[in-house]
Every structure is written in structure tokens, then in C-alpha cells.
Structure 1
Amino acid sequence: MIFVFKTSVKNKIQEKKLKSQIDKVLPKAKWNFDLEDCDNILRIESEENIVAKITTLLKTHNFDCEELV
């Protein structure tokens, strides 16, 4: 499944800070940020439902994160 989130991550420095945390929480998932998009999109390809995990993780690091449906 592919999950798409609107985030408040604004640049590569912030993305880099989150990388190890996302990899730790979602070790088998493929993910990337599209910071060129106005919604600073985070796309995650995962076999499990990761919505709660990723929104909690980003909010813990003071970023907004909302699943786009």
C-alpha cells in the first residue's frame, strides 16, 4: 500500500534529521519526501498500516503530519 502525508518538513536538513528515525520505525518500508510540493509530501510504501506510527513519530519531532486520503 502507498500512504501519502502532508507534512511541515520544509528542507533537506529536516528530512535528514528524520531519516534514521523513520528507518528505525519502518525498516522494510520505502519512503521519500517531495519537498517541491506545496504540501511537503511524504510518501511511504509499506505492507502494514503505518499511519499511527508515522504521524506520532513526526509529531514527536515537532512536525505536522496528516494523511491525505
Structure 2
Amino acid sequence: MKNVLVFRTNINTDERLHRAACRLCKLRTICRWSVDLEDCDCVLRIEAEALTEAEVIRLLTRAGLDCAALT
């Protein structure tokens, strides 16, 4: 079963998007992900199996990005 995880981020430049992509593409549990660069919260949406919000936040924080779960 796929989970949909949604986050507020600071992924608002090509460089930050590339940093996020390098990390997210390594996770085999992610089926699909996207960042809404038009939204003021730069919303990251992830469809994945067996992935938690905490894991995503930790991964992106280690990459120097801001990431917080949206509920």
C-alpha cells in the first residue's frame, strides 16, 4: 500500500532541487515525488511504500535542506 507524504520545504532553486533529487532517487521505496515550485511552501509530495515522515526529514536535513511535515 502506498503512503502519500507531504512536506513544506525550502527547495526553491535548481541547486536545491538537484540536492533533493540525488537523495530521494536513492530510496527504492519511493514510487513518485514532486516539488511544487510555484507554491510559497515549496511543497514536496512523495508517494512511497514503507517510508516515514521522520526518514524523509532526516534525509533532506542532512542534505542541508529545510523540511517539515504538513498535516
Question: Which TM-score applies when normalising by structure 2?
Answer: 0.83
Aligned to 2:4: 2
Amino acid at match of 1:27: R
Q: Which structure 1 segments of 5+ residues have no match? A: none
TM-score (normalizing by structure 1): 0.85
- Show structure 1 runs of 4+ deviating over 4 A: none
Which one has a larger percent helix, Structure 1 or Structure 2?
1
* Total equivalences in the alignment: 68
| CA–CA separation in structure 1 for the residues paired with 2:28 and 2:51 | 13
Partner of 2:29 in structure 1? Answer: 28
Verify: 1:12 aligned to 2:14, yes or no: yes
Alpha-carbon RMSD: 1.3
- Which residues of structure 2 form unaligned runs of 5+? none
